[in-house]
Amino acid sequence: MMLSLFTFFLVLLLAFANGTNDVSKSIATLVGSGVSHYSRAIAWGTTWTVAGAGLSAFVATSMVKTFSTGFLPPDITIQSSLALSVLSGSIAWVLFASRTGLPVSTTHALTGSLIGTGLLAYGPERLIWSGLVSKIALPLLLSPFLALMVALLLYPLVRFVAARWEGSCICLVPTYRALITINAQGGTKTLYQASGVGPPIAAVPAHCARNGLAGVAIGLDSMHWLSSGLTALARGANDTPKIAAMLLLGGMAGSWPSSSIQLATFGGATLAMGIGSYWGGRRVTEVLAEKVTTMTHVEGLAANLTTSSLVLTSASLGLPVSTTHLSSSAIVGIGLLHGWKTVRWRTVRDMALAWIVTLPASGLFAATAYLFYEWIR
């Protein structure tokens, strides 16, 4: 019982550590393009991260199975210290990276910890390397290049739409019971108008005061905020199942013994991830927002759409891609649109080195933790 509670505590701690590092991936473009200041962006990213983490309890069963089964032969007796060591190694590395402002991948850290602990506990011949390569290594390796390509392809489309949308807004006008669009030249077009008489459709503040009309403006700023929220939602849905799966590590079915345990695990991880995002997310956000490349409003929107679409797709397929790799690569891709010299390659180099070091570093931390847990057992 005490061992299970301690494992649960480590799951919560890893969720907290993940929040401190990964909330930045969804909000860095808001800050970097000047749409928002840090505190408001972090609060926004935290809100949507919590929503995605909570949603993952119901829609991300394939990701749970990916990280809880298929790494060790079924005839092996799983030691209780295995999950503890994997969690401890991942926590140590992610917290260290967050403290130093390095955007690293929790998925990468879990993979390194799994390999480091497995090698020490069972030897290289007992690990199912084909499962590790196909289910984790290949998606992690290919995702940065995929994000770079998608960002470069998506940006022209976003720029084309933005050029025709800039300065326009959509107004809900209660007085006339109508939905009206207004272009940059002040021309209006009624999209919808209710027939008959009656109370107004809605009572809204006057945010779109053009040509004497008052309503809610929906412009590029709104779309950028929504894309940021979608990225945070996708990140929460993508990362939480990997962390929660550590309670099932080594089980044959990769399924929960009861729905109450599942809900308690995901609920606790969701809360811990939200706390970590809000209280510790600024340091890594500063690196991605200010120290990789400068970006415009439209470029930030394109980077966010790239990250959110790829993370949501991979999460639904149970492929453990890294939000860190996707977001960082998308931002680099946007920077390359202005030329090689617009990207701060020293920062990119440090990020790439952190990605490379994540596997051996988390594996070493996990192996050390395994020796400690075996010694005190």
The mean pLDDT values, 10 residues at a time, for the chain of 377 residues are 78 95 88 87 95 81 62 69 92 94 87 90 81 71 84 85 65 63 64 60 42 55 84 87 79 63 89 94 87 78 85 72 80 79 80 86 95 87
What pLDDT does residue 198 have?
52
Same domain, 24 and 129: yes
Shared domain for 256 and 194, answered yes or no, is no
Q: Domain ends where: 218, 235, 252? A: 218
The alpha-helical segments, DSSP class H, found in the chain are: 2-22, 24-32, 38-59, 61-68, 81-100, 106-122, 129-132, 138-165, 220-244, 259-280, 282-290, 297-317, 323-336, 345-376
Are 147 and 290 in a shared domain?
yes
Tell me if 290 sits within 8 A of 34, measured CB to CB.
no
Q: Looking at the 3D structure of the chain, how many domains does it have? A: 2
Q: Domain span at residue 199?
A: 168-218
Q: Specify the 3-state DSSP secondary structure of 261.
A: helix
Find tokens 């945010």 and name the residue: 207
- 136, HSE (Cβ side, Cα atoms, 13 Å): 27
- 231, 126: one domain: yes
**20 shares its domain with 142:** yes
| Same domain as 109, residue 90 | yes
338 in the same domain as 197? no
Backbone angles phi and psi of 101, in degrees to 5: 80, 20
What residues have CB less than 8 Å from 290, skipping those under 6 apart?
31, 32
Instruction: State the pLDDT at residue 88.
Output: 96
Same domain? For 252 and 138 the reply is yes
Q: What is the DSSP letter of 309?
A: H
Are residues 150 and 185 both part of a single domain? no
pLDDT at 210: 47
Residue 176's CB: how many other CB atoms inside 10 A? 16
Q: What is the edge-to-edge ordering of all strands in the sheet holding 178-182?
A: 169-173, 178-182, 188-193
Asked whether 242 and 318 are in contact (CB, 8 A), the reply is: no
Token code pair at residue 221 = 């700023």
pTM of the model: 0.79
Q: Residues 199, 226: one domain? A: no
Q: How far apart are CA 87 and CA 113, in angstroms?
A: 8
Is there a contact between 365 and 345 (Cβ–Cβ < 8 Å)? no
Q: Looking at the structure, tell me whether residues 74 and 109 fall in a common domain.
A: yes
Per-residue tokens: 240: 């939480």
Question: Are 203 and 72 in a shared domain?
Answer: no
Reading the block at residue 281, the tokens are 């997310």
